[in-house]
Structure 1
Amino acid sequence: MDNESGTGGGGGGGGGKVVVNRAMSLDGFIAGPGHAMDWVGEHMTSETFPEVVAATGAMLVGRGTYDVAQGMSDENTSYDGGPQFVLTHEPPVEPDPRVTFLTCGVEEAVATARAAAGGKDLEILGADLAAQCLRLGLVDEILVYVLPVLLGDGVRFSPPGEHQVDRIDLEPLATAQSGPVTMLRFRVRK
C-alpha cells in the first residue's frame, strides 16, 4: 500500500487526527523487561519517517512513558512532536519546563492537547493511556513501527488489566519501509 497522509478525524476538535504511535518488537512488545526502551533507538530515530514528525502537532504521553523517557539518554529521546502533555494523577515535585502536566480526565486531556496541536495530528504515547483512549473511541489511527527484534518479554502492545481493550476493528491504510523498520498505519473503525 502507499503511504497516506492528511488530516481528518474523530475524537472531537478540528484538524488533525488522534494517532496512537508506537514502536513494537516483532513479538508484540512496546517495551522490554523493566520497561526498557533503549532497543528502539538502536533501530530508528525521528529521521526514519520524517513525514510522521512533520504531521505531528502535539503529544499526549502517559506518566509511565514519561518517566521511562526521563531515564533514557537525550540521543534516544529527541523528537520534536510539538507541545508535550503528560497525563498523571501526581505531577512531579520538580516541574519540567518542556512539559505541561495534566491531572484531568482522559477526554479533557485529549481535547487540550488537540487544541495545542494547531490542526496537526495529536500523538498518543503510552500503553495504558492509548488503551484508555481506544476504549473511549478517541483514536482515529494507530501507527506501529515494527522493529527487527524479538524481546521475549515486556509490555505488550495492548496490556491486560484495568484498561484492557476489547476487540477493535482496524482498516489497513498504509505500509512503508525505512531501513530495517516497517511502518503499519491503520484507521480505527468506529
Structure 2
Amino acid sequence: MSEVGFGGGKVVVNRAMSLDGFIAGPGHAMDWISAYLTAADVPDVMAATGAMLIGRRTYEVARRMSGQGPAYDGGAQFVLTHRPPEEPDPAVTFLTCGLDEAVATARGAAGGKNLEILGADVAAQCLRRGLVDEILVYVLPVLLGDGVRFTPPGLGRIELEPFDTTRSGAVTTLRFRVRGPARPAPTGP
C-alpha cells in the first residue's frame, strides 16, 4: 500500500469497464464510455482527486477524445512516459522517471487529496508494487468482445475488499480496498 505522509489522499485506480472486462476496445478505443458516463456523473470523485498519473497511451486516447463532453477535472495531470512529445502540452507534466518517483511526485501535487491512476500499464505496475490503496470501477452495460483487458496477463493475484457498490442509471460503481501487492502468478503445469 502507499506510504503515509501525504495527508488523507489515497492512490486510486479509476476505471470504466465493459461487462466483459475491457477498459478500452480494439485500437484502444474509449469513445463507448461517453455513451454511459461523463464527467458530470462523477462530481464527488473529481472533488476528491487532486492529481492524476496517466499512462502515455491513455493520454493520447484522451487527447483524441477531447471535446466530446464536459472536461474531467482531476487536478494536476502527470503522464509517465519513456518519450515526452516534441510539442509540450502546457496542461500536463511529462515524467520520465521511475514509477516510485512518479507516484511520489503526483501525490505531492495532489495536496492531500487522492491520486488517480489512469492507464492499464501504469495501473498494473502500481498494483504489482503495492502502491494502490483502492480500485474504483464503473461497470458499463456493454460487451466489447476484444480490446484492452482490465489487467494484463501475469499480474498475479491481488486480494481486494469490497466496500461500496452503487448504481446510477445504467452504471454500476464498485469500490475495493487493496489488501496488498500482487502475488506472483503461478508458472507452468
How high is the TM-score relative to the length of structure 2?
0.91
Question: After the TM superposition, which residues 35-74 of structure 1 pair with which residues of structure 2 at under 5 Å, given as runs?
Answer: 35-74=28-67
Percent identity of the aligned residues?
73
How high is the TM-score relative to the length of structure 1?
0.91
How many corresponding residue pairs? 179
Aligned equivalents of 2:61, 2:117: Cα separation in 1: 15
Candidates 13, 16, 25, aligned match of 1:32: 25
Residue 85 (1) aligns with residue 78 (2): yes
Aligned equivalents of 1:41, 1:72: Cα separation in 2: 10
1:174 maps to what in 2? 164
1:54 to 1:68, Cα distance in 2 relative to 1, 3 A: same
Could you tell me which amino acid in structure 2 is paired with residue 57 of structure 1? G
Give deviations 1:79-112, integer Å, cap 9, x for gaps. Answer: 0000000000000000000000000000100000
Give deviations 1:126-181, integer Å, cap 9, x for gaps. Answer: 00000000000000000000001000000000022xxx411000000101112111
Aligned equivalents of 1:169, 1:40: Cα separation in 2: 27
Give deviations 1:45-101, integer Å, cap 9, x for gaps. Answer: 112122111100000000010011111132247100000000000000000000000
Q: Tell me the C-alpha RMSD between the 2 structures.
A: 1.3
**CA deviation after TM superposition for structure 1 residue 11, in Å:** 3.8
Aligned equivalents of 2:5, 2:118: Cα separation in 1: 19
Aligned equivalents of 1:71, 1:89: Cα separation in 2: 20
Contact 2:40 2:70 in 1 (8 A): no
Residue range with higher mean Cα deviation, 38-47 or 121-130: 38-47
Contact 1:11 1:18 in 2 (8 A): no
Q: Which aligned segments of 4 or more residues in structure 1 are displaced greater than 6 angstroms?
A: none
Candidates 129, 135, 145, aligned match of 2:138: 145
**CA deviation after TM superposition for structure 1 residue 12, in Å:** 4.5
